[in-house]
């Protein structure tokens, strides 16, 4: 039985068997109080020397924090105990006696990263991983319920999707290959047979920066659809985010509370459509607020943080200068210096969680753009072929799972949104 099942009025005065790990332990007189944890929660277990046999009492005395054990006993009401119930133990058996546990909860960031394999047992990390589970599940549900096809693009690639400077190069049987930065180019190929496709894959960025929002390896929820314009795809993204947040609010209330997350802004997220501003407007807002930025410069984390102060829900920035966006984005027919691209920014200073655009579907224009940004057209022959054989207007986007979790859970740093973070100068464990 899971602990959460025992925290129930129906279990009062009934015998249960629980399996878990020692979260806390204290001795008071002739009783030992053990707070047991498993994946579902915690419960207080009371070992009374006058009730249990000598072997159970001895093991209770010897058991240490993070030891695994099996507890048998009777559930009873206890308002002072966590969850309002406790187990009066009749038998305790230690399964894995833990050595002195090296984490007490007051350690610094680097120490906890060095002991990440143990720190992920913390209730905070457990709550975050449960929220992430719901984010992933809700993302899958949204696409599957709305007629999209899940596909499996490769992780090893022969060319860049974004900047070549941020690629991880690998030796592929003597040939040069790269870890995927995005599944986008492959998803574009798949729309010609499936119309609307999505994938959930790891992506890799070899960026030198080490900020609260950057990971070298992260999970990427991406989608691509034939016949979709920019407004069509923006509608998909806001529906997706609204659905994800609604599911988290509905199913992970306990975890959000443990993390002390203020859910008011999350509740605002449920209402769509989200606000939209153009890049030009964003620059004006920033300049009026005293931010030193000129038209044509990219928006970094600091600029995005300032912009998020203007909104109480996610919002879009659209129509960026082509020089700061990827070669595959379609040029705005009304102003070819701009692209039909969009970013969705999360409020409260969290910034970009989604990037998307209309893709260039004209062979000649795309070929010219590849040359303009200094790429080799030969490496993109297959991608250009898509524009030769039945080209079609299409759009797509990518959502960063960890950035989304970071915002929803109200985390200070993205490293806590993934079990084993990978960023510059760190790959342990």
Residues 325-343: pLDDT tens digits? 999 999 999 999 999 999 9
Does a structural domain hold residue 28? yes
CATH of the domain at 48: 2.40.50.140
Determine the pLDDT at residue 100. 96
The answer for residues whose C-beta is within 8 angstroms of residue 184's C-beta and 6 or more apart is: 161, 222, 224, 328, 396, 398
- CA-CA distance, 199 to 399, in Å (whole number)? 11
Determine the pLDDT at residue 211. 82
Pair 19, 81 in one domain: yes
Does a structural domain hold residue 37? yes
Pair 274, 372 in one domain: yes
Does a structural domain hold residue 309? yes
The one-character DSSP state at 291 is -
From 96, 126, 153, the end of a domain falls on: 96
Q: Is 222 helix (H, G, I), strand (E, B) or coil?
A: strand
Pair 62, 87 in one domain: yes
From 69, 96, 123, the end of a domain falls on: 96
Q: How confident is the model at residue 163 (pLDDT cuts 50, 70, 90)?
A: low
Determine the pLDDT at residue 158. 84
Per cent of the chain over pLDDT 70 is 99
Q: Is 390 helix (H, G, I), strand (E, B) or coil?
A: coil
Average pLDDT over residues 195-199: 98
From 96, 125, 154, the end of a domain falls on: 96
Pair 334, 377 in one domain: yes
Determine the pLDDT at residue 165. 64
What pairing do the DSSP bridges indicate for beta strands 315-318 and 276-278? parallel
Does a structural domain hold residue 359? yes
Determine the pLDDT at residue 114. 94
Contact 113, 421 (CB under 8 A): yes
Does a structural domain hold residue 107? no
Q: How confident is the model at residue 272 (pLDDT cuts 50, 70, 90)?
A: very high
Determine the pLDDT at residue 423. 82
> What is the number of domains present in the chain?
2
Closest CA to 78 of 1, 9, 3, 5: 9
Determine the pLDDT at residue 415. 95
Residue 385 lies in domain: 113-417
Pair 128, 181 in one domain: yes
pLDDT for residue 160 is more than 70: no
Across 383-414, b (16+ Cβ under 10 Å) vs e yields: beebbeeeebbbbbbbbbbbbbbbbbbbbeeb
What pairing do the DSSP bridges indicate for beta strands 169-172 and 335-339? unpaired
Closest CA to 248 of 403, 138, 140: 138
- CA-CA distance, 402 to 383, in Å (whole number)? 29
Pair 244, 312 in one domain: yes
Pair 123, 258 in one domain: yes
Give 170's strand partners: 177
Does a structural domain hold residue 68? yes
CATH of the domain at 138: 3.30.930.10
Pair 10, 78 in one domain: yes
Torsion of CA 76, 49, 101, 416, to 10 degrees: 0
pLDDT for residue 159 is more than 80: no
Rg of the Cα atoms in the chain? 26
Q: How confident is the model at residue 162 (pLDDT cuts 50, 70, 90)?
A: low
Pair 283, 309 in one domain: yes
Does a structural domain hold residue 108? no
- CA-CA distance, 330 to 33, in Å (whole number)? 65
Per the listing, tokens 């930065």 go with 181
Pair 90, 206 in one domain: no
Determine the pLDDT at residue 166. 82
- CA-CA distance, 215 to 199, in Å (whole number)? 19
- CA-CA distance, 226 to 197, in Å (whole number)? 9
Pair 132, 264 in one domain: yes
CA angle in degrees (0–180, nearest 5) for 151-153-154: 155
384-419, pLDDT tens digit by residue?
A: 999 999 999 999 999 999 999 999 999 999 999 999
Does a structural domain hold residue 102? no
pLDDT for residue 208 is more than 80: no
Pair 92, 209 in one domain: no
């Amino acid at each position: 039985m899971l602990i959460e099942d025992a925290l129930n009025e129906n279990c009062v005065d009934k015998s249960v068997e629980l399996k878990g790990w020692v979260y806390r332990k204290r001795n008071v007189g002739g009783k030992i109080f053990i707070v047991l944890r498993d994946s579902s929660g915690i419960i207080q277990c009371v070992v009374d020397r006058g009730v249990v046999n000598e072997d159970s009492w001895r093991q209770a005395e010897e058991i240490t924090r993070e030891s695994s054990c099996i507890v048998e006993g009777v559930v009873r009401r206890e308002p002072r105990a966590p969850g309002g119930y406790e187990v009066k133990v009749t038998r305790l058996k230690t399964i894995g006696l833990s050595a002195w546990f090296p984490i007490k909860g007051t350690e610094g960031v680097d120490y906890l990263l060095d002991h990440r394999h143990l720190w992920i047992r913390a209730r905070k990390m457990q709550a975050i991983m449960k929220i992430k589970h719901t984010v992933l599940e809700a993302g899958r549900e949204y696409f599957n319920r709305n007629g999209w096809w899940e596909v499996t693009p490769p992780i090893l690639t022969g060319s860049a999707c974004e900047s070549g400077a941020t690629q991880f190069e690998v030796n592929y049987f003597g040939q040069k290959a790269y870890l995927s930065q995005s599944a986008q180019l492959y998803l574009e190929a798949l729309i010609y047979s499936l119309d609307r496709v999505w994938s959930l894959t790891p992506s890799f960025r070899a960026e030198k920066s080490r900020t609260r929002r950057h990971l070298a390896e992260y999970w990427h929820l991406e989608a691509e659809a034939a016949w979709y314009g920019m407004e069509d795809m923006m509608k998909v993204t806001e529906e997706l985010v609204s659905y994800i947040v609604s599911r988290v609010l509905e199913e992970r209330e306990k975890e959000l509370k443990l993390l002390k997350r203020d859910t008011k802004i999350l509740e605002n997220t449920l209402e769509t459509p989200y606000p939209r501003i153009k890049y030009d407007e964003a620059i004006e807002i920033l300049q009026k607020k005293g931010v030193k930025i000129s038209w044509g410069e990219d928006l970094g984390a600091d600029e995005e943080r300032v912009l998020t102060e203007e909104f109480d829900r996610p919002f879009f920035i659209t129509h960026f200068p082509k020089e700061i966006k990827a070669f595959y984005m379609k040029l705005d027919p009304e102003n070819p210096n701009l692209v039909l691209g969009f970013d969705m920014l999360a409020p409260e200073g969290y910034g970009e969680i989604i990037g998307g655009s209309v893709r260039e579907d004209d062979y000649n224009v795309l070929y010219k753009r590849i040359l303009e940004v200094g790429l080799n057209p030969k490496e993109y022959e297959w991608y250009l072929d898509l524009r030769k054989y039945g080209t079609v207007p299409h759009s797509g986007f990518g959502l960063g799972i960890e950035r989304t979790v970071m915002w929803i859970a109200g985390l200070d740093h993205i490293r806590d949104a993934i079990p084993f973070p990978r960023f510059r100068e760190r790959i342990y464990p």
